[in-house]
Amino acid sequence: MICAISGEVPDEPVVSKKSGLLFERRLIERYVEDHGKCPVTKEDLTMDDIVPVKTNKVVKPRPLQAASIPGLLGIFQNEWDALMLSNFALEQQLHTARQELSHALYQHDAACRVIARLKKERDEARALLALAERQIPASVPGAAPVAVVSNGKRAMEDEIGPDGKKIRPGINPVMIDELTECNTMLSAQRKKRQVPPTLAPIDALERYTQISSHPLHKTNKPGILSMDIHPSKDIVATGGIDTNAVLFDRASGQILCTLTGHSKKITTLKFVPRDQLFVTGSADKTVRIWQENENGSYNCVHTLKDHTAEVEAVTVHATQKYFVSASKDNSWCFYDMSTGSCLTQVGEASGQEGYTSAAFHPDGLILGTGTTDAVAKIWDVKTQSNVAKFEGHVGPVTAMSFSENGYFLATAAHDGVKLWDLRKLRNFRTFSPYDSDTPTNTVEFDFSGNYLAIGGSDIRVYQVANVKSEWNLIKTLPDLSGTGKVTSVKFGADAKYIAVGSMDRNLRIFGLPGDDQMEESNTAAE
């Protein structure tokens, strides 16, 4: 009797009433429970259709070799010999595998050492080449391509690689050590930093009103697109649609100088106090570095032409030795301030996603960029790798600002301002102060990190709090939608005043009337 399922003699045989087939009881019970059918005929079957069969127990006969003691000993000996042979073969295989693994690890370690040595030699060679390019005059026959500064213009004969792209020297280990040291120092200082006693209190900001207005740019092309304030001289710089940058002394109410040279609107500008430098970016695809003269005027010492589309933002590193430019050509460039050389260009020089804003973190090791497709990206400056993306805005990210404590990032777009927690990489608050037809154009933390200003059709100042606390609205400055939308907002030293640039070409100063004895100036820069 053979089981229809296992093909062996069943220990507990049962038979089906319907088909007459013989099964092992435990096997047919499980099959019927799962399927409710006969495994052979596929007919419906229940355990009520199963009848047990009583049979005599069949004892399998022993093999002839196990019928005597010498036979059993022979069987055991054969099994022991087979086991020893198998064990010996396994030991040989294990020994061979260990040797192969050891050899592979040695090769890997040697390869890593060679790669590290080659990288070190490459970085040293790049550093020496960069030093040589700075020192060798361009007139020497056979000299390496160098930057030649003449009448404020920078001529660069860039080397082109096999892929058709310019070869950049890169950020060498010496520079990385410098950036890291700066980061360590600033991080330690930030932990000890206290709110300055000279900071304007909240009740003072609540009483701020417009104390002066200055039409700085040409009337035929009105509009201020960018603005910056010198941290120690109380000088306000504005960049306009008229292609000019104007440096304005707030204390005297006079224009100090007007910088001309760009062929299209100036979209971004920054002071560099360390060497009395000034950086401007323009829609003419260039970045210019200006040097202050003894008489207070500025000369263009470098014209940088590494971008292929409008330059939308420049941001200066905390060391004031380097700066970054971001462009709509979907790339950002890291520059050496003293030489004007592009050390590295990150991103493709084509594509739909361009950069519309950029800002360095206060400690200098991460960079934030805003894109045309509503994404804010965070970059590791040392490796130039994208380490985080903040999504959720509607429209291009027009402005961004890091808080001085390094914990928060504020980004502005058409739908308002979003605040991001950099420790947990999440959005924890959103301000939507304007209607759907009014974009938010600018956002700015003050230097102390206690106030946040938002600009669109008006200017709104908030008190900075933590992630869980409410960020209270302190002051709403006048609606400028009738005269020109707000394009830029900056806090003066200790937030004693707020400078506002708008599309009607006026630089407006808001503060307490008693703190500013200057009369309103109507000086026009033609």
d(CA 408, CA 419): 7
- The pLDDT value recorded for residue 104 is 94
> What's the pTM?
0.68
Lowest mean pLDDT among 61-65, 216-220, 326-330, 443-447: 61-65
Q: Where in the chain are all domains bearing CATH 3.30.40.10?
A: 1-83
d(CA 405, CA 318): 14
Q: Residue 356 CB: number of other CB atoms within 10 A? A: 24
| Residue 426 backbone dihedrals phi, psi, to 5 degrees | -145, 155
- The pLDDT value recorded for residue 453 is 95
Check if the beta carbon of residue 426 is closer than 8 Å to that of residue 411: no
Helical ranges in 153-307 per DSSP H: 173-192, 202-205
Give pLDDT tens digits for 150-203: 344 443 445 665 555 677 888 888 899 999 999 888 888 877 778 888 999 999
d(CA 240, CA 225): 5
- The pLDDT value recorded for residue 124 is 87
Check if the beta carbon of residue 493 is closer than 8 Å to that of residue 454: no
CA proximity to 152, closest of 322, 272, 290: 290
Q: Which amino acid is at 313?
A: A
- Judged on CB neighbours under 10 Å (0-12, 13-18, 19+), 158 is middle
Average pLDDT over every residue of 307-319: 94
Paired with 148 in beta bridges are: 155
- The pLDDT value recorded for residue 137 is 46
- The pLDDT value recorded for residue 526 is 34
Paired with 238 in beta bridges are: 227, 246
| Residue 155 backbone dihedrals phi, psi, to 5 degrees | -100, 120
Residue 115's alpha-carbon distances to 108, 110, 111, 112, 272, in angstroms, are: 10, 9, 6, 5, 39
- For strand 322-327 and strand 331-336, is the pairing parallel, antiparallel, or unpaired? antiparallel
Helical ranges in 193-314 per DSSP H: 202-205
Show the tokens assigned to 445: 């933390």
Check if the beta carbon of residue 17 is closer than 8 Å to that of residue 49: yes
Lowest mean pLDDT among 31-45, 389-403, 511-525: 511-525
Sheet arrangement for strand 416-421: 399-402, 408-413, 416-421, 426-431
Q: Where in the chain are all domains bearing CATH 2.130.10.10?
A: 173-511
- The pLDDT value recorded for residue 401 is 95
* Tokens 């394009």, residue located: 487
d(CA 523, CA 256): 11
Give pLDDT tens digits for 225-263: 999 999 888 899 999 999 999 999 998 889 999 999 999
Give pLDDT tens digits for 340-394: 999 999 986 555 679 999 999 998 899 999 999 999 999 999 999 999 999 999 9
- The pLDDT value recorded for residue 208 is 93
Under the banding of pLDDT at 50, 70 and 90, the label for residue 76 is: confident
CA proximity to 210, closest of 400, 486, 526: 486
Give pLDDT tens digits for 9-65: 788 889 998 888 988 888 989 899 988 899 888 899 999 989 998 877 656 666 666
Domain 173-511: which CATH number of 2.130.10.10, 3.40.50.280, 3.10.290.10, 3.30.310.50: 2.130.10.10
Q: What is the distance, to the nearest Å, from the Cα of residue 142 to the centroid of all Cα atoms in its chain?
A: 41
d(CA 271, CA 269): 7
Show the tokens assigned to 522: 């109507």
- The pLDDT value recorded for residue 484 is 64
Cα first-last separation, the chain: 113
Q: Which amino acid is at 351?
A: G
d(CA 199, CA 471): 18
In this structure, the chain runs to a length of: 526
Domain 1-83: which CATH number of 3.30.40.10, 3.30.70.1150, 1.50.10.20, 3.40.50.300: 3.30.40.10
